[in-house]
Amino acid sequence: QKHLLGIEHLRPDEITAILDLADQYVDLNRRDVKHADALSGLTQINMFFENSTRTQASFELAGKRLGADVMNMAMQASSIKKGETLIDTAMTLNAMHPDLLVVRHPHSGAVDLLSQKVNCAVLNAGDGRHEHPTQALLDALTIRRAKGRLHRLNIAICGDVAHSRVARSNLILLGKMENRIRLVGPPTLVPSQFAELGAEIYEDMNEGLKDVDVVMMLRLQKERMDGGFIPSEREYYHRYGLDAEKLANAKPDAIVMHPGPMNRGVEIDGEIADDINRSVIQEQVEMGVAVRMAAMDLLARNLRSDRAAKQASEV
Ligand code: CP
């Protein structure tokens, strides 16, 4: 692969290869062997047109730990504010010869479009409600480490599926790895067409969580609701917020996940989020660095071999 634009473009063996390499980076990070040279001599530019804590910080750390020169573009202070388009911005940066561009953008498809205009590897850090591939990969690694496998699991993805790129990427990845996915939430947030992606849909949280191995909670993404129906937080928490009573429907060893940022008391009870016997939310953050190291390492290998082949053909 030249870019990492979406899980939809990855085969199961490619997903497994990324997770296997990420496992090695988890071990190195835990052993405080935090410097490698896989990206040595390469320039990584992070362009975040939307807010981020986890994704931006972990891409920056991942690049630095692998020896890249990393630049974070302050998009709020860029010439985008003077009317420059995304594509002109990308082509301007492309002229500075970056090797890896990490892009988050509010519009679905924007990162794909940008990748067609530049000469470097592009990683999608989240585009609109379309895809967030590294989030799904880090979620998959977290599940594989907690459950010892990434197939034949019953996984409930709960809440605002409609506006969630995390849900979409997870649905695709976990489906490719042959898991059974349930989507749980009100019809306004879990449209019936998601059944076409191979998921079972539940409106009732207690039924949806029955005997699942994994409970993945999602935030209400009000920033993408476009003035549509926004449920009252109190009512939503009552029906769909994960608390001990609802979680009791899942298997006794079910894990609780959340991609963050989390709204405690809206989609999840704070005590469940902090329960180290059930919640793997902090592990997800840890896996995020390792997965992004693995993804950039593998793309850099492809980039280097493409460039070597091009140079050889020119002589
Ligand atoms: N999960 C996630 O994408 O978090 P950030 O928005 O903080 O990057």
Q: Which atom of ligand 1 is nearest to the CA of 259?
A: 1
Closest Cα to residue 106, out of 135, 78, 77, 75? 75
Whole-angstrom distance, CA of residue 257 vs CA of residue 74? 30
ipTM topping 0.90: yes
pTM, to two decimals: 0.96
Output the tens digit of pLDDT for each of the chain's 315 residues: 999 999 999 999 999 999 999 999 999 999 987 788 999 999 999 999 999 999 999 999 999 999 999 999 888 878 888 889 999 999 999 999 999 999 999 999 999 999 999 999 999 999 999 999 999 999 999 999 999 999 999 999 999 999 999 999 999 999 999 999 999 999 999 988 888 888 999 999 999 999 999 999 999 988 878 766 677 899 999 999 999 999 999 999 999 999 999 999 999 999 999 999 999 999 999 999 999 999 999 999 999 999 999 999 988
54, 58, 257, best to mutate for ligand 1 pocket (most atoms within 8 Å of CB): 54
Tell the residue nearest (CA) to atom 6 of ligand 1. 52
Question: What is the rounded (10 degree) CA torsion for 175, 257, 141, 164?
Answer: 50
Question: Which helix or strand (DSSP H or E) is residue 108 part of?
Answer: none
Known binding residue 132? Answer is yes
Tell the residue nearest (CA) to atom 5 of ligand 1. 52
User: How deeply is 209 buried, as exposed, middle or buried, from its count of CB atoms within 10 A (0-12, 13-18, 19+)?
Assistant: buried
Known binding residue 64? Answer is no
pLDDT at 228: 66
Known binding residue 261? Answer is yes
Q: Which atom of ligand 1 is nearest to the CA of 55?
A: 8
